[in-house]
Chain A
Amino acid sequence: MSSAQASPLPQSSVRAPFVSRAAALLAGDWRYVPIATAIVLIWAFFAVQNPAYLSPRNLSNLCLQSVVTGMLALGLVPVLLIGQIDMSVAAMSAVAATIAGQLLLVEHVSVWLAIGAGVLFGGCVGFLQGRWITWTGTPAFLVTFGVSLALAALQLFLLPVTGQINLYGTDIVVLAGAYLPAGLSWAIGLLAAIVFAVFRLSAFMEARNASLEVNARTVVLPTVLVLIGLAVVVGALNMHNGVPVALLLFVVPIIVLTYVGSHTRFGLYLYATGGNPSAVARAGIDVDRIRIAAFVICGMFAAFGGIVGASRLLGVSAQSSGMGTLLLEAITAAVVGGTSLFGGRGSPWSALFGALAIASISNGIDLLGLGTEVKLATQGLVLVLATSVDSVAHKFANDTR
């Protein structure tokens, strides 16, 4: 899989056999074990406090509550992989939602054109940011933070005189408000499991043809796990309203980006740029182009996430969109899910797991009515904890190298 290409661990196996073997497993097939364990623990904790937590209704809530943060986190993954950061994602999501909403309501363009224009805007701003950062060498943190302020101003400029856009009753609402029919969800789930099995199988065949030591278990076990997981998710969601379309709009890009990351030259360069940029440059690869592309992807996903968020809230305003803790939640989600702030390590799936973990916590706190203070404290501590784990892992990897 993808991250093995940039894994700094292999040479150290002689010196610290147990620790490094565990680290190697965590960097490879087991890399989702910590976050999955964390999610199970969070769910268990809240379910004990209030059984309604695991009701189909709440699982449906949880999906929709994770999607917007998750899309922003997904966009952040490529940027984090190259060792940079984008602080403008939340503001970008707000501006893109404003653009799409205004086009839809004032210019009466079709809903797809409105969404396309918003996403295109996100890509363009991402390009300009990436170009500026690579050209001037200014730290991405500062450039994107400055741009986020400018974007907040742009949103105020673009909003109508009423200060808000009401999307109730418009076509854009289907993005977050529609659910798949039960049969279709089962069909898609089954198809996904089959495609997954085929991929595992082809990887297995490749490895065997290359006369590597492999085990058929690496195909069967994960496929069974994925099948069970999908069945549980689809079954539970079908017991309420069905699988939200928004969940599909989130998961499909994850699969596409995962494929790009592990099966294309661009993906290889992306991981390598984060791991060791000078080596990549010496290999004759245009590092700047890789970096710019990462920012473009980030801008587009931030924009799309913002539009889905507006569709969910049925509106856009300066108060609701891109405000509050969205930016921090998105960064936390990517890092909690296992994408390193130091570049080179991570996967698009980290956006899903991280966003789910974070949404699970605030969902539970809201369900128990614990209040703002508990929520803020928990969010802050989770951020510190997740980034600390990442930093310690980074330090450890460097020490043993």
Chain B
Amino acid sequence: MTKLTKVLAAAFAASCLAGPTFATERDPSLDGTVYFMLPNFTTVRYVQKDGPDFVAAMKKYAPNIKVELVNGESNPGQQQAQAEAAITAGAKAIVLTAADPSLASSILFAADKAKVPLIAYEHEASGGPLTYYTGFGALKAGQAQGKNAVAALSDGNAIPVARLYGNKGDFWQRATKQGQDESLDPLIKAGKIKIVCEDYVPNWNPSEAQRLIEQCLTKTNGDVAAIVASNDGTAEGALAALVSQGLAGKVKILGGCDANVTTLQNILLGLQNGTVLKDYSTLADDAARLVVATLQHKPLESGVVNGEFDNGFAKVPAAFADVTMIDKSNVGDVVKAGVWTWKEICTGPAAKTAECAAHAAD
């Protein structure tokens, strides 16, 4: 790096700190195209939130970089082809949310070979070289769900509990279950709760979750006191099963993850206990900063990278974000985090709750 570019880079860094309006001076390292590879259309947040948030963050830090969003449509094979196309098209960097984190190593090696920096986003892409990792970590969500369940169940005796895991064998299912087990296993051993049904939900599909809970109620003749669901979609399916059997509000729904609007409404209505919030916008912002720093070959400002992630191939510097447990008392945190607005949450029957009435003017 010549002295001149160093000066330019420093000037650019200063302009970034001063604000986006000064960033118009062209930095040659901040040109070209960055690819954000989304995993699927089924997890609402990636298309609706992470994608647009990342585009906005990149515009703030590097307005001359074009961001291309591509979607792997839940298909690791298709995502690999998209990654190869991006590398061929001269991608400056790739931000990858792997369609299947355990099947992403070919993408990681392809990017490494072409010297394209690759940042793993949220999904813990394993088995290959990475530049950075940024995400919440699925284990953390499971741990939060486990603690939430324990708080609701610890003073009982052989409480019948149904557990809904995610898609069998996928990465999040394993990590989430592992996190939940840390808290639930001691309760099971102590005889405080009894697992009466445990099922994997194919593709995390709410309709499948609904049918599994209907069958659990058949098996136990309606004797289920609580359901621990691994994400919000499956919790919503479980609730639909309870509603059609007239058990809504009588059987506790614990766990949950993603802070879906439907789930937040159910929490306000007292139909579900809580959910795990991941504040996506901080993640997109972290990812954009990591990309810019990588392209400029300059060290990151302190505070972004706060840990290390071992993906089985190497230990990678990581920017971990925190999860928050949301229940009826702190739904406002979701609004504060900018994930949804009160207007979006307060529709339908939820609009009549006290929380929504208090924020009617927001």
Contact = CB atoms under 8 A, between A and B. Distances in A.
A and B bind: yes
Interface stretch (B7-15, B197-205, B287-295, B324-332): B197-205
B207 A318 contact: no
Interface in B240-293: 240, 243-246, 260-262, 265-266, 269, 271
A166 B203 contact: no
Interface string A79-110: 00000000000000000000000000100000
Interface string A172-186: 010011000000000
Contacts of B211: 61, 65, 362-363, 366
A319 B41 CA distance: 8
Highest count of chain B CB atoms <10 Å: which of A53, A105, A314: A314
A367 B197 CA distance: 9
Given A162-B261, A168-B243, A369-B199, A315 B236 contact: yes
Contact of A65 (B214, B237, B260): B214
A57 B219 contact: no
Nearest to A177: B244
Interface string B224-240: 00000000010011011
Interface in A155-213: 156, 160-170, 173, 176-177
A81 to B, nearest CB: 28
Contact of A319 (B206, B217, B222, B244): B206
B44 A163 contact: yes
B265 A166 contact: yes
B207 A58 contact: no
Contacts of B168: 371-373
Given A313-B207, A319-B206, A320-B206, A366 B199 contact: yes
A52 B210 contact: no
Given A317-B44, A362-B211, A366-B215, A164 B202 contact: no
Nearest to B41: A318
B154 interface: no
A315 B262 contact: yes
Contact of A58 (B218, B243, B262): B218
B217 A318 contact: no
Contacts of A61: 211, 214-215, 218
A319 B43 contact: yes
B75 interface: no
Contacts of A64: 214, 244
A168 B266 contact: yes
A156 B206 contact: no
Interface of A: 50, 52-53, 55, 57-58, 61, 64-65, 105, 152, 156, 160-170, 173, 176-177, 241, 309, 312-315, 317-321, 323-324, 362-363, 366-367, 369, 371-373, 375-376
Interface of B: 41-45, 47-48, 167-168, 197-200, 202-208, 210-212, 214-215, 217-219, 221-222, 233, 236-237, 239-240, 243-246, 260-262, 265-266, 269, 271, 340, 344, 347-350
